[in-house]
Amino acid sequence: MKKIVLITGATSGIGYACAMKFAENGDKLILTGRNEQRLSTIHQELKAKGVEVLTLTFDVRDRDKAQLCLNELPKEWQNIDVLVNNAGLALGLEPEYEGRFEDWETMIDTNIKGLLNMTRLVVPGMVARNRGHIINIGSVAGDAAYAGGNVYCATKAAVKALSDGLRIDVANTPIRVTNLKPGLVETNFSNTRFHGDNERAANVYKGITPLTGDDIADVAVYATNAPAHVQIAEVLILATHQASGSVIVRN
Ligand code: NDP
Ligand code: 8X3
């Protein structure tokens, strides 16, 4: 049966790759993001392939707008089966005692509170229907801090705690919760982290074959296609020459 999959931050990187992979899987897509023009381009791209797709423009930090958009969903789009909490970012790599307050607030508001907003808005419907799957995009950064990772790592540790907490809260239902924890994935992630310093961003992936968004999307689709009694609770996905958040062997 076709599932309705809602993906946040679908305009780039892992979120966009998830959109393409769930589309190939035959699912219906609700794609959300902040960049209306980019959403419209992706909408056209998928429509041309015969995919049923709906786009919603909102910032996950804006709970009221998110709620409004979800409340206005046409009836046939309301029964969301899969929520992919992907929207997120890192800003800066300074020592904790030198970090920028605004960067910290943006990361905490997006990666933690934004994910919570979406969970709070979408999961009650899943509970009422006794059906659903939440995929949170955590990170290897949530397993252990690395130099300069401080606040970003803390937000991804929070994603692990929130995934574990939600899994406990829905354990009496068929709803499944998956925390996907990628390592180095080459996307816009580092360009954003370094505030548009693209040369510095490119260096993050030098001397190693990084993961791609598709590598992560494959696992997301696998988790949702697993038999109903199988809950892929957590997956750490690393590039082959990456052993942890801080051990990366470059050639
Ligand atoms: P990208 O920068 O390519 O994509 C991030 C996406 O999140 C964009 O669509 C961006 O939209 C969106 N986004 C950011 N802030 C908001 C917001 N406030 N509201 C709505 N959308 C928002 O990076 P990735 O694809 O790599 O990142 C996706 C997720 O994967 C993040 O949660 C990240 O932490 C996580 N991750 C990434 C890894 C990596 O190495 N790349 C590894 C582990 C985890 P916009 O274009 O409008 O900013
Ligand atoms: C993104 C991966 O290792 O750059 O979460 O933090 S890392």
Q: Is the confidence at residue 132, as pLDDT, over 90?
A: yes
Position 221 confidence tier, pLDDT thresholds 50, 70, 90:
very high
Q: Summarize the confidence of residues 128-139 as an average pLDDT.
A: 98
Residue 247 lies in a domain: no
Q: Is the CB of 245 under 6 A from ligand 2?
A: yes
Q: Summarize the confidence of residues 241-249 as an average pLDDT.
A: 97
Question: Shortest CA distance to 189 belongs to which of 200, 178, 180?
Answer: 200
pLDDT of 197 reads 98
Any idea which ligand is nearest the CA of 182? 1
pLDDT tens sequence across 158-199: 999 999 999 999 999 999 999 999 999 999 999 999 999 999
Spatial distance between the Cα atoms of 236 and 123, rounded to a whole number of angstroms: 24
Spatial distance between the Cα atoms of 92 and 110, rounded to a whole number of angstroms: 15
Residue 248 lies in a domain: no
Spatial distance between the Cα atoms of 169 and 40, rounded to a whole number of angstroms: 36
pLDDT tens sequence across 199-211: 999 999 999 999 9
Cα of 171 from ligand 1 centre, angstroms:
28
Spatial distance between the Cα atoms of 8 and 19, rounded to a whole number of angstroms: 10
**Hey, which of 7, 8, 11, 14 would you mutate to test ligand 1's pocket, going by the most ligand atoms within 8 Å of its Cβ?**
14
Q: Is the CB of 13 under 6 A from ligand 2?
A: no
Number of domains, the chain: 1
CATH number of the domain encompassing residue 168: 3.40.50.720
pLDDT of 166 reads 99
Q: Is the CB of 155 under 6 A from ligand 2?
A: no
pLDDT of 12 reads 98
Q: Where are the alpha helices (H) located in 54-197, listed in sequence order?
A: 63-71, 101-107, 115-129, 150-169, 189-193
**Residue 152 falls in the annotated catalytic set:** yes
Burial class (CB in 10 A: 0-12, 13-18, 19+), 129: middle
pLDDT tens sequence across 35-91: 999 999 999 999 999 999 999 999 999 999 999 999 999 999 999 999 999 999 999
Residue 114 lies in a domain: yes
Residue 249 lies in a domain: no
Q: Residue 190 CA: which ligand 2 atom is closest?
A: 4
Position 1 confidence tier, pLDDT thresholds 50, 70, 90:
confident
Q: Summarize the confidence of residues 229-233 as an average pLDDT.
A: 98
Position 95 confidence tier, pLDDT thresholds 50, 70, 90:
very high
Residue 250 lies in a domain: no
Q: Summarize the confidence of residues 110-128 as an average pLDDT.
A: 99
pLDDT of 67 reads 98
**Hey, which of 187, 215, 237 would you mutate to test ligand 1's pocket, going by the most ligand atoms within 8 Å of its Cβ?**
187
Residue 244 lies in a domain: no
Mean pLDDT over the full length of the chain? 98
pLDDT of 98 reads 98
Q: Is the CB of 87 under 6 A from ligand 2?
A: no
Could you tell me the residue range of the domain that residue 213 belongs to?
A: 4-237
Q: Could you tell me the pTM of the whole model?
A: 0.98
Cα of 61 from ligand 2 centre, angstroms:
21
Residue 199 lies in a domain: yes
Spatial distance between the Cα atoms of 37 and 45, rounded to a whole number of angstroms: 12
Residue 251 lies in a domain: no
Q: Report CA Rg, the chain.
A: 17
pLDDT of 149 reads 98
Give percent above pLDDT 70 in the chain: 100
